[in-house]
Amino acid sequence: MREPTMPLTRTSARGNPRLAAIDGLRLIAALAVAAYHYTVAWRIDGSRVPEYFLPDTVHATIYGFLGVELFFLISGFVICMSTWGRGLGAFFVSRVSRLYPAYWAAVLITASIGVMFPLLHEPPSLGDVLANLTMLQQPLGVPLVDGVYWTLFVELRFYLIIGVVLIWGLTYRRAVLFCAVWMTAAVIAPQLGSPAVDFLVMSDFAPYFIGGIALYLIHRFGPSPLLFGITGMAWLVCVARVQERVASLNPGFDVPDWPAILIITGSYAILLAVALGWTDRITWRWLTVAGALTYPFYLLHLNIGQTIIRFAYEHTTLPVRVLVLATIVLMLGVSWLVHRFLERPLAGALKTSLRQSLDAISASERPLPHQNLPVYESKPRPVPSGRAQ
């Protein structure tokens, strides 16, 4: 496979421009997940099935769980874009400063609400909260402070895999080879009967990340039969995986899989339009704000939102539909506050600190410059006059 020699496309001309359409997709994904969690994924009064309260809604919002798959597809695109031309250190700084500040705030806020209003679950212990702050609670065997955190560990494993590739540098050829090898491993791993291998290659969600990477390559280098082939293969494997996901649902009513297939196909089609530049004219500023709110909203919405709905249901006579909509609006407002007053300041300080630390490590590993020390030459001592030479 020969490295492309044609000029780079839009990305080379303008660096990595902010793609507002992707911010819009992020918001749609987050709202879809919230709709699923608020209407289908639990019993609002603690006993009756969701269909009792929202019989005309749950048959559509049940597919909101696919917002997670859309997040992973977008992540493959965005992470490849943000790491191109960077080293491992820069990738580490960008990911840590992006993920942890809002996450730390969400863990502490969610845990506090859980202690003050234990309407849904047992309050988390101090040890559980501290372990959750690492984002490694799953391999540590510690309960999640909030159920949505499981997706973050999937993202961390993706970052680890990308980090390994960055050791050698990310090029077109290596990215294509990486997609091919990872896709093969993800398809074969479940047949090996090894939970460890399946865990490492993330067979359930790897096709979404791979599809996102292939779509970014189309965005950066232009379309080609090879990249369309990788994207198409990823889409087909995702269709097979999503049918398994739908079959695992148990909401108390039948859930056909054809809408899920259409949603996954539509997600690929929209991101392909972004990759081809068809959405470049979408530059609405509010989409950038919405994209910034998406991450804290996703982290905060589940336990806190369900607690608000349960409390309001028990103490008011408002319809459940109104409670759900009002809670989504309220959580968007809370997310903006977290983003504006916690995430942004913490992220900036953390990024600066990490960069300085990495610079100090690099400086300590540089060889010391040659020092020109003065040379002392011995001179013959003068002989006093009148003495024999």
Q: Distances in Å between the alpha carbon of 279 and those of 116, 147, 231, 235, 271?
A: 45, 34, 19, 21, 9
* Torsion, Cα of 234, 235, 239, 241 (10° steps): 20
Residue 270 tokens read as 């929209």
Q: What is the DSSP letter of 343?
A: I
pLDDT for the residue 381: 55
Q: Are 129 and 107 in contact (CB under 8 A)?
A: yes
* Amino acid identity, position 127: G
Nearest to 309 by CA among 325, 297, 294: 325
Q: Report which secondary-structure segment, H or E, holds 270.
A: helix 258-275
Q: Report which secondary-structure segment, H or E, holds 66.
A: none
The CA distance from 311 to 323, in Å, is 10
The CA distance from 284 to 278, in Å, is 15
Q: Are 313 and 44 in contact (CB under 8 A)?
A: yes
Q: Are 307 and 120 in contact (CB under 8 A)?
A: yes
pLDDT for the residue 191: 92
Residue 291 tokens read as 């994209």
For 332-383, the pLDDT digits (tens) are 999 999 999 999 999 999 999 999 999 998 888 777 665 555 555 555 555 5
Q: Where are the domains of the chain?
A: 10-361
For 39-65, the pLDDT digits (tens) are 999 999 999 988 999 999 999 999 999
pLDDT for the residue 13: 38
The CA distance from 324 to 322, in Å, is 5
pLDDT for the residue 364: 83
Q: What is the DSSP letter of 283?
A: -
Nearest to 202 by CA among 271, 268, 153: 153
Contacts of the segment 52-59: beta carbons below 8 A, 24+ positions apart: 53/320, 54/320, 54/321, 54/324, 57/321, 58/251, 58/253, 59/253
Question: If you search the block for the tokens 């961390």, which residue do you land on?
Answer: 156
pLDDT for the residue 252: 85
pLDDT for the residue 365: 78
Give the number of other CB atoms < 10 A from CB of residue 299. Answer: 27
Q: Which residues of the chain have pLDDT under 70?
A: 1-17, 368-389
